Structure formats: C-alpha cells, structure tokens
Amino acid sequence: HPPVSQMEETSLLRRANCRSKGGASGFKVAILGAAGGIGQPLALLMKMNPLVSVLHLYDVVNAPGVTADISHMNTGAVVRGFLGQPQLEDALAGMDLVVIPAGVPRKPGMTRDDLFNINAGIVKTLCEGIVKCCPKAVVNLISNPVNSTVPIAAEVFKKAGTYDSKRLLGVTMLDVVRANTFVAEVLGIDPRDVNVPVVGGHAGVTILPLLSQVNPPCSFTPEEISYLTDRIQNGGTEVVEAKAGAGSATLSMGLRGDAGVVECSFVASQVTELPFFASKVRLGRCGVEEVLPLGPLNEFERARLEKAKKELAVSIQKGVSFIRK
Ligand code: NAD
Ligand code: LMR
C-alpha cells in the first residue's frame, strides 16, 4: 500500500485505539475490487459508516488513488490501500467482513453467465486468500454470476476445511431495491414504504419476485404481474444496455450486526432441494442467523419457481465443478 510515514502510522493507530476505548471496536472491512464502479461508492459508504473502524481497499489497479481520496473523508474509519496480488494477504489479515465486487461487468448482449470464465478464477484466488488470512470473516459476494460464484467460494472454503455456511452470502439485494421501486411506481406510493421479497437467484428467470407477498398487502392485475416480473428480472440488463458498454449497475447498489435485520440474500439453504437459494434471511453479527421459509406462493409463482430452480441448478453445479474438476 502507499508509503505511510512513521508519524502517520502512529497517528492512525492512536485513532484506532481511541475508537476502541468506547467499547465495541468496530468492524474491520476489506473491499476486494475497491477501485471499480461498485468498489468506489461502496468504499465511500463504508468510510461513512460509524460501525466500521478499519477499511482495507484492495484492487489490481488504482487502489492507491482511491485510498488517498477516501482517506481524506473526516469520518472515523482508518483507511489503507493494497495494490495487486502480492499485497492481498496484508489486505485480508484480521478482517471481520470481506466484500467482493472484483471482476468484470457485463456489456450489452451478454448474460451474467458469460462472465463466468473470467470471474470464476478471480473469485477462487481471492477466496484462497480469505482461507489463509481471515477464515472467520463474513464474506459478501457481489461478483457475477452470483449463482455460480457463491458455490465456487463455498467449495474453496470446504476444501480448506474453513467453510461456515452462515458466513457466506451472495448479494441479491439490488433485486429487492428494484422490485420495491417498480412496484411503488405501479401502486403510486413511496418506494420506501414497499417491501417485495425476491427469491431464487440473481440472473434472469432465477430472479423471482413474490408479488403475492408484497408489504403493504396489495393486489395486481395479470398484466401488472407480467410487466413487473419481467422488469424486475431484466433490471440489470436495462442498465447494461443504457450504459452501452460502459459497465453495469453501480449506483443503485448499498452488517450492522443488529439483531433482527431481515434481507434477501443468496445463501446455503434448505428452503428448496437446491444447495443454495436466495430468500429472506435474518442477519446478525456473524452473518446468517436464520434462513426464512418462502411462505405461501400462488400458482404463477409456483410455475416460475420451477423454471428458476432448473436454471439455478445448472449454475450452481457449474460453480461446484469449477473447483472440484
Ligand atoms: P468494474 O469493472 O467497474 O470494477 C471491477 C473492479 O475489479 C476493477 O477495479 C478491477 O480492477 C477489479 N479487479 C479485476 N480483477 C481483480 C482481481 N483479481 N483482484 C481484485 N480486483 C480485481 O465492475 P463493477 O461495475 O464494479 O462490477 C463488478 C462485478 O460486480 C461484476 O462482476 C458485476 O457483474 C457484478 N455486479 C453484481 C451486482 C449484484 O447485485 N450482485 C450488481 C452489480 C454488479
Ligand atoms: C445487476 O443486477 O445490475 C448486476 O447483476 C449487474 C448485471 O450484470 O446486470
């Protein structure tokens, strides 16, 4: 990471010590892929989060620049930058939470699965670093295809004997964010007042909004259901096409350790016969505390669920085979 003078290092340590005098010492968070379209705003949000005491920004390019920039923010977290593979282990040592948006994004005409060939290897290498340096960290995987990268991470951790299914989560919250926005538009209400569970996975037909379980309770016409389901499933593609080659969604993306936080996430699951599935999970300081059941589905959702499971099973197996081969 960029040279830090003795004086600066002493002052960083003093700040970190001060903070821990307050009681809880805060989360140590690493972002892998921190210089990218998701990494940079995520780094900014983490630096603004009072629960974060140490923030490590790792990338294979531009990490020093992003680190210098973010580190000038007048908030508590101590920020350090790490550039390239030789610095991966220092970036990961002692981390409580590792968030991974490293890898390539889609261009128009591509599916998320088209990213597998590049991103699978990147995720594998980064997870091998986690095994070595912070095997007890909670890992949030953003890199696509999430339906395969989460099984890849699980296999790397299993191979090393460090796997804890509670600590590995694929980030699918963007599907909920989109669903809330599009449903609110149809209902003519504030999106902050809407909650739509989105289950299954994070690609095309595997993204299954449960419109029969929207909160506040409401009903839709068959046309609205068809429009909303398609729009939510294709929200990512809508952004990829609008950005016309300049990447995918980065700005609509966002662990407190509080009890009782419930969010949708792609996790190891017994909700269906598949080993991984996105559904509502109750989060706690150590990751997943409980995977919640799907609740009652209507006929439309049951049919879509079968379709989602078919594609999801293939994507999961592809990730598993990548490590076991
Ligand atoms: P980006 O290209 O802007 O940034 C990716 C960053 O990863 C770059 O800075 C790049 O240098 C870095 N990188 C590449 N190889 C690396 C390695 N070996 N180690 C560390 N860093 C490495 O892309 P983005 O828009 O930030 O998207 C990143 C990934 O997140 C993509 O795969 C994208 O499809 C995915 N994504 C997922 C969701 C989701 O909801 N799960 C949402 C949006 C994007
Ligand atoms: C999204 O849903 O926006 C991301 O998964 C990025 C993509 O490729 O669509």
Active site residues: 202
Tokens of 100: 């991974």
Could you tell me the pLDDT band of residue 284, with boundaries at 50, 70 and 90?
confident
- Taking the CA of 141 as reference, the closest ligand is 1
If you measure from the C-alpha of residue 36 to the centroid of ligand 1, how many angstroms do you get, rounded to a whole number? Answer: 6
Q: Is 324 annotated as a binding residue?
A: no
**Does residue 80 register a pLDDT over 90?**
yes
| Rounded Cα gap, residues 285 and 257, in angstroms | 4
| Rounded Cα gap, residues 271 and 292, in angstroms | 8
102 lines ligand 1 (CB under 6 A): yes
Mean pLDDT of the chain: 92
Please enumerate in sequence order all residues whose Cβ is within 8 A of that of 189, keeping only pairs 6 or more positions apart, or say none: none
Can you spell out the DSSP letters for 112-158?
A: GGGGHHHHHHHHHHHHHHHHHH-TTSEEEE-SS-HHHHHHHHHHHHH
Could you tell me the pLDDT band of residue 251, with boundaries at 50, 70 and 90?
confident
100 lines ligand 1 (CB under 6 A): no
**Does residue 2 register a pLDDT over 60?**
no
Q: Judging by beta carbons within 10 Å of its beta carbon (0-12, 13-18, 19+), is residue 165 exposed, middle or buried?
A: middle
| Per-residue pLDDT tens digits for 92-147 | 999 999 999 999 999 999 999 999 999 999 999 999 999 999 999 999 999 999 99
201 lines ligand 1 (CB under 6 A): no
Span of 32-46, 246-260, 301-315 with lowest mean pLDDT: 246-260
Tokens of 311: 């594609």
Q: What is the mean pLDDT of residues 179-190?
A: 97
pLDDT at 133: 98
Of all protein residues, the one whose alpha carbon is nearest to atom 31 of ligand 1 is 105
3-class SS letters over 222-286: HHHHHHHHHHHHCHHHHHHHHHCCCCCCCCCCCCCCCCCEEEEEEEECCCCCCCEEEEEEEEECC
| Per-residue pLDDT tens digits for 7-44 | 665 565 555 544 443 335 799 999 999 999 999 999 99
Of all protein residues, the one whose alpha carbon is nearest to atom 30 of ligand 1 is 143
pLDDT at 23: 35
**Does residue 313 register a pLDDT over 80?**
yes
pLDDT at 193: 95
pLDDT at 258: 66
Q: Is the separation of the CB atoms in 65 and 83 below 8 Å?
A: no
Tokens of 195: 């909650």
If you measure from the C-alpha of residue 248 to the centroid of ligand 2, how many angstroms do you get, rounded to a whole number? Answer: 6
pLDDT at 257: 58
Percent of the chain with pLDDT over 70: 90
Q: Phi/psi of residue 312, each to 5°?
A: -60, -40
Atom of ligand 1 nearest to the CA of 58: 20
If you measure from the C-alpha of residue 312 to the centroid of ligand 1, how many angstroms do you get, rounded to a whole number? Answer: 22
Q: Is the separation of the CB atoms in 162 and 131 below 8 Å?
A: yes
Tokens of 75: 């908030």
Q: Select from 53, 55, 54 the least CA-distant residue to 42.
A: 55
Q: Is the separation of the CB atoms in 30 and 15 below 8 Å?
A: no
The residues that bridge with 195 in the sheet, in sequence order, are 215
Q: What is the mean pLDDT of residues 270-293?
A: 95
Q: Select from 31, 58, 52, 50 the least CA-distant residue to 42.
A: 31
DSSP letter at 191 equals G
Please enumerate in sequence order all residues whose Cβ is within 8 A of that of 87, keeping only pairs 6 or more positions apart, or say none: 1, 58
Determine what percent of the chain falls in helix, strand and coil, rounding each to the nearest 5: 45, 20, 35
**What's the complex ipTM?**
0.99
Percent of the chain with pLDDT over 90: 87
Q: Is the pLDDT higher at 89 or at 13?
A: 89
Q: What is the mean pLDDT of residues 195-203?
A: 97
Q: Which residues of 74-102 are buried (b: 16+ CB within 10 A; e: fewer)?
A: eebbbbbbbbeeebbeebbeebbbbbbbb
Ligand 1 probe mutation, 40, 44, 57, 59, most atoms within 8 A of CB = 59
If you measure from the C-alpha of residue 265 to the centroid of ligand 1, how many angstroms do you get, rounded to a whole number? Answer: 18
pLDDT at 73: 97
146 lines ligand 1 (CB under 6 A): yes
Please report, in angstroms and rounded to a whole number, the separation of the first and last CA atoms in the chain: 35
Angle formed by the axes of helices 146-160 and 116-133, to 10°? 30
